Structure 1
Amino acid sequence: MLWILLAVIALVVAATLTLFRLEDLSHLDRQQHPVREGTPSPANREVLGRIREMGEASRGLRGKARLMALRKHMDGLSEGLELASEFRFCEEPRGEWALAPGCDTRRRILYIHGGAWAAGSPRSHRAITDRLSTITRAAVFAVDYRLMPEHRFMDGVRDCRDAYIWLVKHGPEGAEPADFLVVAGDSAGGSHTLGLIAWARDNGLRQADAAIALSPSTDLTLTAPSNRDNIGTDPLLGPVFGGLSKIPLPVIWWATLAAFRVSPTSPVASPLRGNLENLPPTLIQASDTEMLLDNARRYAARATAAGSPVALHTWPGMVHVWQIFVPLLPEAEEAFDDIRDFLSDVESGRFGAAPRESSTG
């Protein structure tokens, strides 16, 4: 019996090495990335309290009940905020426009929300889409992509791709070509953002003029050091995903393949591991204490080495996707000032040059 067990183990190991061919990216961790000086503002304590409330909302719940509680809590994040934008529902593609007063409908941002591909919605991220529309004078379309586990991971990817194609030629008032187009997203949506600009390049589509990724995941293989080193300093992701550190990585890869029906090494799920050449100017914002810090660092380093213009700006001691706590958090205000300056530099030509290709699609 022992030899049979050893043979099975050998087969599993061989299959793992064959299926999950991982390029070692640890050399990217040697690069130095500056972090803004300072300490978290007093308002950060209130943000941490809200994070604890989110955990309390699902305490004791399991499975679908836990997920539904998380979704409900996230959708309530925008309640009580004074938002300047008009929010307009769109049936096809499904999503929501955020239209600040005086915005130019030929300036457009496709926003892809986070939530681990299983939670979040245009409503949950209204604080972000409202502020983006206000500071950029752009019409922001938050795509309501299909979520797991009710749908497959690739269903959500296709929804984002369809929304991108549509947004190139349609604004909130109907058919109208875009003069300036940005793709933005946070966390899981930030990963979708980075995968989407690579997909647009590969398919000869009109490329976005710029991309913005807030605390993006970039890599589902969980091989970056901060995925484990920052568990204790990440009050949002640590309690939810910290337990994964006790599970061998090959087991996680097989589980990811089973759940996502996409290999964690695929550029669709892990844009860090794809071709990063000839991409538009990209701004990445991250916190130095979050689990996804090195995912952002690795992407910035690898994309820069491939010749794509990328800026990584890091804040000290912030929660994952702290931008959603605008206007409560001064550091969130700083982040949006940073986004406005980045896009201004892109439009003036001071930050890279977005590759532009016409599309027949």
Structure 2
Amino acid sequence: MFWIIAVVIVVIVALTLLVFRMEDLSHFDKEEYSVREASPSAENQNVLERLKEMRRAGAGLRGKARLLAMRKHMDSLSDGLDLQSEFRQCSTPKGEWVIAPGADTRRRILYIHGGAWAVGSPRSHRSITDRLSHIANAAVFSLDYRLMPEHRFMDGVRDCRKAYTWLLENGPEGESKSEFILIAGDSAGGSHTLGLLAWIRDNGLRQADGAVAFSPSTDLTLSAPSNRNNISTDPMLGPMFGGLSKVPRPVIWWATLATFRISPTSPIASPLLGNLANLPPTLIQASDSEMLLDNARRYTAKAKAAGSLVELHTWPGMVHVWQIFTPMLPEAEEAFADIEVFIRDIESRKSRPIAAAQT
């Protein structure tokens, strides 16, 4: 009996190593990164109270009932906000246009919302998309991609790809080419954003002018140190996913493969594990206290080593995707001011070859 068990264990280990082959990225953890010198504002306490409300929304519920309660609560995040943009529904692709007064609709942003690929919607993230439309003077298309578990992970990926291709040639008023296009997303949507950049490059499409990712997951293997070290300091993800730290990572990988129907080592699911060369200028924002900090750090370091223009800007003590709490949270306003500078830098780089040719 003992030898049978030993053989089974050896087979399982060998199969795990074969199926989930990946490079060791721990050397990127040595890269230096700066954190803004500031303490969380007083308004951050209000954000923490909002997170408690979110947890209470699903308390005592299980399965589908809990999922629906979480989706309903998340959609309510934008309720009561004084949003000046026009919100215009679109059926194909499914989503909504967010257009600030006077925005140039030839300038476009594809926004991919977060929510662990299972919750969230264009409505839940209106505070972000409204703000992006204002600061970028652009029409934002907030994609309502298909969510798990009703759909497969790859269904959402395909929705992102189709939406981007469509957005190149279509605006709020119908068919027209985009003059400037940005891709942005948060958390799970931030990971979709980074994966989409690589897909655009590999398929020879017109690349986005730039990208913004708020606290992207980047790596479903959960191998970065902060995935475990920052559990106690992450008031949003810690209570929801902290328990995974007690589960052996190979077990998590097999469970992810079964749930997502794609390997966590695939660059589609984990953009960090793919080729990060020849990508457009990308800004990543993260908190130094969140579980996904090192996912962002590793992605930035690897992309820079590959020659891509990727920046990581880090805030101290913020919750995961604190940008969604604009305008209540001053640090959220700081983040959008940071994005505005990033967009101006992109446009400045684009205009330099033209200026040089004219001289």
TM-score by length of 1: 0.97
Quote how far apart the aligned CAs of 1:41 are: 0.2
Match of 2:132 in 1: 132
Return the letter of the residue paired with 2:227.
N
Report the equivalent of 1:90: 90
- Per-residue CA deviations over 1:84-109 (Å, capped at 9, x if unaligned) read 10000000000000000000010000
Answer whether contact 1:185 1:214 (CA < 8 A) is retained. Answer: yes
The letter of the residue matching 1:204 is: G
Aligned to 2:328: 328
The residue type paired with residue 173 of structure 2 is E
AA of the residue aligned to 1:44:
N
- 1:143 positional shift: 0.5
Residues in 1 aligned to 2:67 and 2:6: alpha-carbon distance in whole angstroms? 39
The residue aligned with 2:308 is: 308
Asked if 1:193 is matched to 2:202, the reply is no
Following the alignment from structure 1 to structure 2, what is the Cα–Cα distance between the partners of residues 203 and 352?
Answer: 27
Structure 1: stretches of 5+ with no match in the other structure: 354-361
Q: 1:350 Cα deviation (Å)?
A: 8.3
Equivalent-residue separation in structure 1 for 2:159 and 2:352 (angstroms):
29
| Structure 1 match to 2:346 | 346
Matches for 1:132-211 after TM superposition, within 5 Å: 132-211=132-211
Alignment of 1:103 onto 2:103: yes
Q: What is the one-letter code of the residue matched to 1:287?
A: S
- How many angstroms does 1:173 deviate by? 0.2
In 1: Cα distance, 2:350 partner to 2:217 partner: 28
Aligned to 2:289: 289
**Which residue of structure 2 aligns with residue 271 of structure 1?**
271
Give CA deviations for 1:122-147 in whole Å, capped at 9, x if unaligned: 00000000000011110000000000
The answer for the alignment partner of 1:249 in structure 2 is 249
Structure 1 54/5 Cα, relative in aligned 2: closer, same or farther at 3 Å?
A: same
Structure 2 portions without partners, runs of 5+: 354-359
Q: Does residue 1:112 correspond to 2:112, yes or no?
A: yes
Aligned match of 2:357? none
Deviations 1:1-48 (A, max 9, x none): 111111111110010000000211000000110000010000000000
Q: CA RMSD in A?
A: 1.1
Q: Is the 8 A contact 1:346 1:352 kept in 2?
A: no
Mapped partners of 1:18, 1:351: distance in 2: 48
Deviations 1:149-202 (A, max 9, x none): 000000000000000000000000000000000000000000000000100000
CA distance in 1, matches of 2:184, 2:83: 19
* Secondary structure of residue in 1 paired with 2:296: helix
Q: In the TM superposition, what is the alpha-carbon distance from 1:241 to its structure 2 partner?
A: 0.2
Matching residue's letter, 1:41: S
**Corresponding residue for 1:235?**
235
Indicate the SS of the match to 2:232.
helix
Letter in 2 for 1:38: A
Q: Aligned partners of 2:70 and 2:342: how far apart in 1?
A: 33
Question: 1:24-63 maps to which residues of 2 (within 5 A)?
Answer: 24-63=24-63
Q: Is the 8 A contact 1:345 1:351 kept in 2?
A: no
2:356 — aligned with what?
none
| TM-score between both structures, scaled by the size of structure 2 | 0.97
Tell me, yes or no, if the aligned pair for 1:281 and 1:351 is still in contact at 8 Å: no
Distance in 2 (alpha carbons) for counterparts of 1:280 and 1:179: 16
Deviation at 1:62, TM superposition (A): 1.0
Corresponding letter in the other structure for 1:214: F
Paired with 2:267 and 2:132, the residues of 1 have a C-alpha distance of: 27
Rounded to whole Å, the distance in 1 between the matches of 2:284 and 2:352 is 15
Q: Deviations over 1:259-300 (max 9, x none)?
A: 001000000000000000000000000000000000000000
Number of residue pairs aligned between Structure 1 and Structure 2: 353
Query: CA distance change for structure 1 residues 86 and 137 in 2, over 3 Å: closer, same or farther?
Result: same
Map of 1:78 onto structure 2? 78
How many Å separate the matches in 1 of 2:63 and 2:234? 23
Is residue 201–residue 207 contact of structure 1 (8 Å, CA) maintained in 2? yes
| SS of equivalent residue, structure 1 residue 349 | helix
2:219 aligns with 219
Identity over aligned residues, as a percent? 72
